[in-house]
Amino acid sequence: MSTLKLDVVAPQGRILTEEVKSVIAPGTEGYLGIRPRHAPLLTSLKAGVLYYRKVGDKVECMAISGGFMEVGPVQVIVLADTAELASKIDVEKARQEKARAEKQLRERPPGFDLVRAEEELQRCNAWLKAAAAE
Amino acid sequence: MSSMREIKRRIRAISNIQHVTGAMKMVAAAKLRRAQGQVWAARPYAQKTAEVAGRLARAPNARQLPLVAPREVKKRCNLLVVGDRGLAGAYNANVIHVAHASLLKADQPTSLIIVGRKGVQFFRRRKVEILQYYVETGDEPDLALAREIARNLMEIFLNGQVDEVGLIYSRFYSALRHVPQVETLLPVEAPAVETVETVDYLYEPEPVKVLEAILPRYCEMKVYQALLEAKASELGARMVAMDAATKNSGEVIEKLTLSFNKARQSAITTELLEVASGAEAMKAQG
């Protein structure tokens, strides 16, 4: 059976390179699944969990905070704004950050950026969800 | 010939300087390693973003997007990235020289946004409008700063304050080679050559929406990349300069030691002569 090469890169560097059987990614228009020999596709991603089935049929996941995905017949490249493998997520830290974002959204202090705070909240939710799925 | 004490003092002074330059070289080398790692790490993402943005920008209806559409250039703004500190050989001077030259030959009024104290010091005394400056940005450029700068640049470009945004920084090739560069950041240019094979992509959502989302990130990445490359270049230049300084002070110390020994020798000779002639005189008297 053919496989896909999954590459996840973020500005800080390469996060993951792996041979996978399938990928499920959080597209802006909803989650979408990719199997080998998919038609070329370019889509933007929102904050969420990226699942991938490894060659041994083990499903792993990571959290991403949005970005892009380029799909070719044999490879998938994810350009993530930030990404973290589920196994490396610090749940405590994510909880604290989520609490802070929620507090900001409630209190709306001066100089507060609504769009950014909401993005931050969604990112934290993605982080926690990925950690829970692990 | 200078006195022995004077020479000795100079030797001590220079060996102190040698210690400082030696330490600075080590520090720069260690920091350079990290900065270089960051540059390499950021390249795949930057390359990919540029590729995708370039491909999308060629689409016919992409031309109307405000970040892509070229307009008549009445005002220009350059982002200049240099170092905060000197003692890095000709690094700062080279980049500033390029920036100044491009300023002088520009046909349109050009303003500047500067990262790095050395640039601010130079251009403050010149007839240039400095829109903004950032100093003491630390040894590891972070993405948050790049985002802030990129957002500012996009804002002044979009609200019509300037019609073109340039990027002047030193591109890092190796510790020994870094070349000042002038690039155009905005409007985003589609790559002239057909670098990538044209594949019919499915877009989700439609191409212009995807492009709209990717362009700000593309700009942020370009600025981030410029900050990283400039920092690596600066550290490389500093390492090389300090290495040369350490070697040179070694040479100077050697020369001074030689003249110190000569001075000592001649002092001994003079003293011997004095003793001998004194004894001779005593003998003659007695």
SS3 annotation, A27-61: ECCEEEEECCCCCCEEEEEEEEEEEEEECCCCEEE
User: How far is residue B34's CA from residue B28's CA, in Å, rounded to a whole number?
Assistant: 10
pTM for this entry: 0.83
- The answer to whether A68 contacts B45, with C-beta atoms less than 8 Å apart, is no
User: How far is residue B62's CA from residue B209's CA, in Å, rounded to a whole number?
Assistant: 10
User: How far is residue B158's CA from residue B215's CA, in Å, rounded to a whole number?
Assistant: 13
Query: How far out from the chain centre does Cα B140 lie?
Result: 13
Token match 């390359």: residue?
Answer: B47
Q: Which phi and psi angles does B216 have, rounded to 5°?
A: -60, -40
**Paired residues of A78 in beta bridges:** A8, A69
The residue among A134, A124, A12 whose CA lies nearest residue B143 is A12
Question: pLDDT of chain A along its 134 residues, tens only?
Answer: 688 999 999 888 888 899 999 999 999 888 999 999 898 888 999 999 999 999 888 899 999 998 889 898 888 999 998 888 888 888 888 889 888 888 888 888 887 778 888 888 888 988 888 888 87
**CATH number for the domain whose boundaries are B22-241:** 3.40.1380.10
- Asked if residue B182 has pLDDT above 60, the reply is yes
- The answer to whether A40 contacts B221, with C-beta atoms less than 8 Å apart, is no
> pLDDT value at position A40?
87
Name chain A contacts of B214, Cβ cutoff 8 Å: 44, 68
Q: Tell me the per-residue pLDDT of A87-109, one tens digit each, with 9 for 90 and over.
A: 888 888 888 988 888 888 888 88
CA-to-CA separations, B83 to A106, B35, B231, B232, in angstroms, rounded: 41, 14, 7, 10
Angle between helices B207-285 and B4-57 (to 10 degrees): 170
Count Cβ atoms below 10 Å from residue A80 Cβ, excluding itself: 25
Count Cβ atoms below 10 Å from residue A112 Cβ, excluding itself: 11
User: How far is residue B3's CA from residue B11's CA, in Å, rounded to a whole number?
Assistant: 13
- The answer to whether B45 contacts A28, with C-beta atoms less than 8 Å apart, is no
Q: Which of B204, B221, B223 should one mutate to test binding to chain A, selecting the residue with the greatest count of A CBs within 10 A?
A: B204
- pLDDT more than 70, % of chain B: 94
The mean per-residue pLDDT over the stretch B82-94 comes to: 90
Name chain A contacts of B202, Cβ cutoff 8 Å: 39-42
Q: Lowest-pLDDT range, A108-122, B10-24, B94-108?
A: A108-122
Exposure of B31 in the CB half-sphere (CA atoms within 13 A)? 20
- The answer to whether B203 contacts A70, with C-beta atoms less than 8 Å apart, is no
User: Is residue B256 very low, low, confident or very high in pLDDT (cuts 50, 70, 90)?
Assistant: very high
Tell me the residue type at A123: R
User: How far is residue B123's CA from residue B131's CA, in Å, rounded to a whole number?
Assistant: 12
Q: Please report, to the nearest 10 degrees, the dihedral formed by the alpha carbons of residues B195, B200, B205, B210 taken in order.
A: 10
Q: Please report, to the nearest 10 degrees, the dihedral formed by the alpha carbons of residues B186, B187, B193, B197 taken in order.
A: 100
Among chain B residues, CA nearest to A15: B41
Q: Which of B201, B203, B223 should one mutate to test binding to chain A, selecting the residue with the greatest count of A CBs within 10 A?
A: B201
Q: Are B168 and B233 in contact (CB under 8 A)?
A: no
User: How far is residue B195's CA from residue B276's CA, in Å, rounded to a whole number?
Assistant: 89
Among chain A residues, CA nearest to B41: A13
Q: Are A62 and A47 in contact (CB under 8 A)?
A: no
Structure tokens belonging to residue B281: 């005189």
- Asked if residue B75 has pLDDT above 70, the reply is yes
Tell me the residue type at B113: I
Domains of chain A (ranges, CATH numbers): 4-86 (2.60.15.10), 90-133 (1.20.5)
Minimal C-alpha gap between A28 and chain B (Å): 8
SS (H, E, C) chain A: CCCEEEEEEECCEEEEEEEEEEEEEEECCEEEEECCCCCCEEEEEEEEEEEEEECCCCEEEEEEEEEEEEECCCEEEEEECCEEEHHHCCHHHHHHHHHHHHHHHHHCCCCCCHHHHHHHHHHHHHHHHHHHHC
Q: Where are the domains of chain B?
A: 22-241
Q: Which of A15, A29, A44 should one mutate to test binding to chain B, selecting the residue with the greatest count of B CBs within 10 A?
A: A44
Q: Is A24 helix (H, G, I), strand (E, B) or coil?
A: strand
